[in-house]
Structure 1
Amino acid sequence: MLKKERQAYILHQVNLHNKVLSATLCQDINVSEDTIRRDLQELAEEGKLIKVHGGALSHSFNEVHFSTNGVYSQSQKKKIAQKAISLIHNGMFILTSGGTTIIEMARSLPHGLKATFISGSIPVILEYMNHPNIEVILIGDRISKNSKITVGPEAIAKIRQMKADICFLGINSIDLEHGVTDNDWEVVQLKKAMIESSQRVVCMTIAEKVNTFQPIQVCEIGKIHTLITELPADNTLLQPYQQAGIQVL
């Protein structure tokens, strides 16, 4: 793979997953760690990504205040957000993860909605705070500077004390064999606790992430109740998930 093609692949993965690991890129592209390190450094110097220890972040993922421009696949994420909102009713207790798709949902909540939203994501909490009628609970603990979300044993313990009506997860990857997967160990532990503490688990993702997987499992496919993408529910890509007993929206 030529350098230009290699760097284009890296940028696409960063935009798609918000965060990439150097080790994963080495394996995917079949090049040395030094090559990936140089590529990431060059791309960072060009302002195309943020180089961090062990990998890289997208610029949108690193912001606390997300702009309405420059978010990868934003129009698709808006469609997903509208579908997710159809599942929300007055009086619900709702757990949510972080991510740009969840932010789109937070921005689109009906003004008349009266419900309680619980999250450890700083950007998501800021969006919830703009809503006139919902109650907002921040899950506290140490903040991950990379993901802008509270992580650690105290956050997990607080989540386990709850029993949410529904949990909305922005996810990195999903396939039938591996279930829901991610590349951030601390965020995975938080999502595991959210799943355990919720009566219904809803995964939100652009279709490009369907049938992909990351190194760390969040949950098996059987733990998911609903999968939301921007595609029509009867799309052939999603039929195997329906056959596995998952509601597809």
Structure 2
Amino acid sequence: MLKEERQTFIMRQINLHNKVLSADLSAMLSVSEDTVRRDLKELAEEGKVLKVHGGAIGKSFHYPFNGNSEVYALDAKQQIAAKAIRLLKDDMFILTGGGTTMIEFAKKIPENLRATFFTISPLVAIQLAEHSELTVITIGGQLSKSSNVHIGSSVINQLADIKVDLCLFGTNGLSVQEGMTDSDWEVVQVKKAMLRASKKMAVMSIAEKLNSTQRMKVCDINQVDYLITELAADNHFLSPYQHLDLELL
């Protein structure tokens, strides 16, 4: 595979999953980790990615408020955000994760909605705070520099003390067989605590991420109450999910 083809593949993986590991890319591309590291170094020097220990992350994910950062699949994420709004009702208690789709969701919340939002993402909290009728509570702890969400035991302990009506997740991988998965151990532990704190759970994901898996499991597919994509609920691509005990939006 030519360098240009490798780097195009790497960029797609970063756009889809926000973070990639050199070891995983090496296996997927059947090249050495040294080759992958050189590709990531070039992409970082070109300003396309940010290098982190063991891999790289996308710039738009890390700096979503930077006008120069192009958000991958923005139209699709805005459609997902608009659909997720349908789940909101006055006086609900809602818990959110982070990510660019969640920021688009926060932008679309109706100005007259009265609700209480808990979030592990300081970036989502900033966007939620633009809505005068919302009460916004951040679940604080150590900030993960690769995912821009709070992680650690203090976050898990705080989540144990709340029970919300709805939890909204982005995801790095979702499949019928493996459920919701992620590549970061600390983030997985926080997401599991978020699930325990929630009566209902919605996954917000562009269709490209479906049928993919990461290294670590968050939950089985039967724990998902709503799956929100940019596709129509009867789209043939969603057929593996259409007969499950969840609602497709």
The structure-2 alpha-carbon separation of the partners of 1:57 and 1:81, relative to structure 1 and needing over 3 Å to count, comes to same
Indicate the RMSD between aligned Cα atoms, in angstroms: 1.2
Map of 1:188 onto structure 2: 188
Unaligned runs of 5+ in 2: none
Q: Map of 1:103-142 to 2, 5 A cutoff?
A: 103-142=103-142
The corresponding residue for 2:61 is 61
8 Å contact 1:96–1:102 — kept in the other structure?
Answer: yes
Residue type at the aligned position of 1:246? L
Structure 2 match to 1:75: 75
In 1, Cα distance between equivalents of 2:4 and 2:148: 31
Structure 2 CA distance, aligned partners of 1:171 and 1:213?
10
Q: Secondary structure at the match of 1:37?
A: helix
Partner of 2:179: 179
CA distance in 2, matches of 1:160, 1:67: 37
The farther-off stretch of 137-146 and 223-232 is 137-146
Q: Closer, same or farther in 2 for the Cα pair 1:137/1:165, shift >3 Å?
A: same
1:6-45 matches, within 5 Å, as 6-45=6-45
Q: Shift of the alpha carbon at 1:196?
A: 1.2
Corresponding position of 2:151: 151
3-state secondary structure, aligned to 2:56: strand
Give % identity.
Answer: 49
Contact 2:64–2:100 (Cα < 8 Å) also in 1: no
User: How far off is 1:64 after superposition?
Assistant: 6.0
- TM-score by length of structure 1 reads 0.97
Alpha-carbon contact 1:139-1:155 (below 8 Å) kept: yes
| Corresponding position of 1:46 | 46
- For residues 152 and 47 of structure 1, do their structure 2 counterparts lie closer, same or farther at Cα, with a shift above 3 Å needed? same
The structural deviation recorded for 1:69 is 6.0
Unaligned runs of 5+ in 1: none
Q: 1:14 to 1:223 in 2, by over 3 A?
A: same
Cα gap change, 1:84/1:67 in structure 2, threshold over 3 Å: closer, same or farther? farther
Structure 1 residue 242 displacement after superposition: 2.2
3-state SS of 2:198 partner: coil
